[in-house]
Amino acid sequence: MQQREIYITGAGIISALGVGKAASLEALLHARSGIGPMRQLQGTTHSHYPVGEVQLSNEELLQLLGMPPQTHSIRTGLMGMIAAHEAVEQAQLHLIRPQRTALISGTTVGGMERSEQHYLDFFEGQHTHYIALHNCASSTEQIAQHTGPYSLCSTLSTACSSAANAIAMGATLITTGRADAVVAGGAECLSRFHLNGFHTLMILDKQHCRPFDQHRAGLNLGEGAAYVVLESEQSARQRGVEPLCRLSGWANTCDAFHQTATSDNGQGPYLAMQAALQMAGLQPHQIDYINAHGTGTPNNDISEGRAVERVFGHRVPPLSSTKPFTGHTTSAAGSVEAVIAMLAMQHSFVPASLNVQQPMEELRFRPTMQTIHNVELRHVLSNSFGFGGNDTACIFSKP
Amino acid sequence: MGIYIQSAAQISIQKPLTDEWLQQPIEHTQHHVRAIEPNFRDYLEAGESRRMGRIQKRALATALSALQQAQLDMPEAIITGTGLGCVESTERFLQAMVRSGEDFLQPTHFMQSTHNTIGSQIAVKLGCHGYNNTHVQDGVSFESALLDALVNFETGRIRSALVTANDELTPDYFALLGQLNYWKQEPITRQTLFNAQTPGAFAGEVSVAFVLQNSRNELSLCQIYALELLHRPSPEQLASCLSLMLSDNNLTLSDIDAVMIGKSGDRDNDAIYAQHAHLWGGRPMAWYKHLFGESFSASGLGLYAAIKCLQHKCLPSHMTLNGASISNPNCILMYNHFMNREHSLILLSTC
């Protein structure tokens, strides 16, 4: 099938760095992390872990959305609506909307933050409206209601690569002519379920996370949402909107090794990066920046690092993990980092990989430890890997 | 390019991994029926079996059975549709946390709680590095997964795919959905479900797997002509989608031998099918949820049932709304909706 150009004409983000692209850019340029003590998530005995929280309560998020305070809400949906709205507005979809506009959203725990509060009440017939909101698709529907209409909606759940897969699926819908525009991304809020899950796996760092550091000790959980508007070249031209960048390649592969661990040589990540490069028609040396998955767990970073070396050899381009800024936003990470990659490209800088004291000895390359300014980024690779060895790579290119 | 279904295998509340239900369906009278489990030892080693939740075992058994039937060792994609994912593992972790606090939780149930555990377990078992995705779009999770497969075929990225639908329903989740009037209060009979005078359906479980490929051979069971997913369509949009689907394939309504709908016995659910009944131009109609129960990805069993009717050249009388069997069906249209929000149309034909 002939390759169609996929334009990105809008982007929106909410994370520990703040609400919107401008706040995120400001924090990234000034190497200011959003990670800090736990404030929003209540009722956990693990409150000593640093986290990347959106610094707004659900009531404040509702207010920001102009919705009544008594609205039945789930935090994932609230954050998703804010980010999707920013993306839709920038792409001017609210003014001229292609008839076939789809919404593809990635999330994993759904309305868990309400379910874990009210679980026992449910059986007594109380707060039962949150039972339906527990399903992953419920946040997608809330976003659809807030930013629609959409001709098609789907929700993906592949853990920490969910949002990247939403972008990939959205692009495939456009390539095949099934949609003219797709709002794609993901959303995920912090929950005790997630915090405890990662705690039992013993992969949470009690300090700020240090991806690609020799002494890295795990990840910091984050939360957030981000969406991009993908659009066919033809649709963007017809609507008279300028592309922010192009999505030139994407691939999803499976490590097929273990449910939560990654293979030593990073076979899945290697195959994903290779396939995305091939699709984009690019050689490795043409990539100007890699926004790594870089969680800060001992396992991820060695596996991803080895895969990067297998693909890029001795010429690894500037590489950083921006999870020390946002925390690991799990299902939203793929789109949160896609928007960060786009901001870096538009504003010609490479965000620093914060908190690296001693680069990993096993790897030949070093992560970018200081922000690089005034650098042209023509092609940026963004990696997102999830439980189940679900590995997705996306390449963003200048228009 | 055509897309062909090479095999289909099910574990459900009918006898598992066989087509016996076509001749001798089990009539259930319970409100909540768990899937009838096959002997997993035919597919899994004892050690593997112990480490897995029920839904994973079922998913692996149906996946391996479908691959065997299709004589395919390695699919190029594994795509899963599931409304609720691994409920049992999620509940174990959640309930321990809510009831006993955060100090003694075990990682195993968390590791197996993500929805994509199902698809990744299949990939690990096969050593499959191909495309792997999981769709969780409520009552059209399965159609959404199928759409993902079709568009990846269309781009030429894959030549074969394993597409599955999996949903389990634990007693606790049955109780929770019951709070939302998902299930009938009165005894379940074919007639009460058929009449659909009251809210609620009866609950089943589903694990079904299909092998799809983009070339036809002697094993091909049928061809997927078209699949459309629509979000809150107007009646006009639904009608024009159908007519475009037919005309794109040089068909008219008279070529459709049966319209298989997602009628479940729930009053509100079934009212939507009644509302759109005029679209089918009086073609004979069929249903399957009275045999397999309601679940978020029950439409996967609907597709399975349709394929088996095409394969065995008979749509039995126990599946048609008018009670008359249809012999030699060639073309089946499937129509499903969830809460009148998501709608799906699938057009299938013998090849």
What ipTM does the predicted assembly reach?
0.98
Q: What is the DSSP string of A141-170?
A: HHHHHHH---SEEEEE-BTBTHHHHHHHHH
Residue A1, pLDDT above cutoff 70:
no
- Kindly state whether residues B27 and B75 are assigned to the same domain: yes
**Which residue, of B153, B178, B213, is where some domain finishes?**
B213
**A6-239, CATH topology level:** Peroxisomal Thiolase; Chain A, domain 1 (3.40.47)
Q: Which of B231, B237, B241 to mutate to test the interface with A (most CBs of A within 10 A)?
A: B231
| B163/B241 same-domain check | no
Same domain, B161 and B263: no
Pair B81, B198 in one domain: yes
B188 and B296 belong to one structural domain = no
Residue A2 has pLDDT above 80, yes or no: no
Q: What is the mean pLDDT of residues B188-196?
A: 95
Q: Which residue among B117, B127, B230 places its CB closest to the CB of A388?
A: B117
Asked whether the beta carbons of B261 and B286 are under 8 A apart, the reply is yes
What is the total count of domains within chain B? 2
The confidence score (pLDDT) of residue A364 equals 97
Q: At A240, which amino acid appears?
A: G
Of B213, B234, B265, the position where a domain reaches its end is B213
Same domain, B128 and B90: yes
Tell me if residue A293 is catalytic.
yes
- CATH 3.40.47.10 maps onto chain A at 6-239, 245-397
Regarding whether B156 and B264 lie in a shared domain, the answer is no
Contacts of A330 in chain B (CB under 8 A): none
- Supply the mean pLDDT for chain A: 97
* 3 state DSSP class of B272: helix
- B200 and B185 Cβ atoms separated by less than 8 Å: yes
Taking contacts as CB-CB distances below 8 angstroms, the residues of chain B near A131 are 176-177, 179-180
Closest chain B C-alpha to A360 CA, distance in angstroms: 27
- Supply the pLDDT for residue A3: 63
Assess whether B269 and B330 both reside in one domain: yes
Q: What burial class does residue A94 get, using C-beta atoms within 10 Å of its C-beta: 0-12 exposed, 13-18 middle, 19+ buried?
A: exposed
Residue in B83, B337, B133, B142 with CA at minimum distance from that of residue B231: B337
Please name the residue of chain A whose CA is at the shortest distance from the CA of residue B128: A256
Last residue of a domain, one of B187, B213, B239: B213
Q: Is the domain of B111 the same as that of B91?
A: yes
Residues B67 and B148 in one domain: yes
* B179 → closest Cβ in A122, A154, A201: A122
Q: Do B127 and A256 make contact, defined as CB atoms within 8 angstroms? A: yes
pLDDT confidence tier of residue A81, bands split at 50, 70 and 90: very high
Q: Which residue among B120, B148, B155 sits closest to A1, beta carbon to beta carbon?
A: B155
Q: What is the pLDDT of residues B30-46, one digit of tens each?
A: 999 999 999 999 999 99
Residues B173 and B278 in one domain: no
CATH number for the domain harbouring residue B93:
3.40.47.10
Q: Are residues B89 and B149 in the same domain?
A: yes
Average pLDDT value for chain B: 97
A118 is catalytic: no
Question: What are the tens digits of pLDDT across the range B211-244?
Answer: 999 999 999 999 999 999 999 999 999 999 999 9
In degrees, to the nearest 5, what angle opens at C-alpha A48 toward C-alphas A41 and A323? 75
d(CA A181, CA A99): 9
The catalytic position among A160, A209, A245, A394 is: A160
Over residues B146-157, the mean pLDDT reads 97
> Whole-angstrom Cα distance, residue B26 to residue B10?
15
Mean pLDDT, residues B94-104 taken together: 95
C-alpha dihedral, A250 to A107 to A159 to A291, nearest 10°: 50
Domain A245-397 has CATH 3.40.190.10: no
Q: Is A328 a catalytic residue?
A: yes
- Predicted structure pTM score: 0.98
When pLDDT is averaged across residues A9-19 and rounded to a whole number, the result is 98
pLDDT reported for residue A110? 86
Q: Is the pLDDT of residue A9 over 80?
A: yes
Per-residue pLDDT tens digits for B239-264: 999 999 999 999 999 999 999 999 99
Write the pLDDT tens digit of every residue in A352-398.
999 999 999 999 999 999 999 999 999 999 999 999 999 999 999 99
**What pLDDT shows up at residue A346?**
98
Parent domain of B45: 3-213
For residues B175-183, give the mean pLDDT: 97
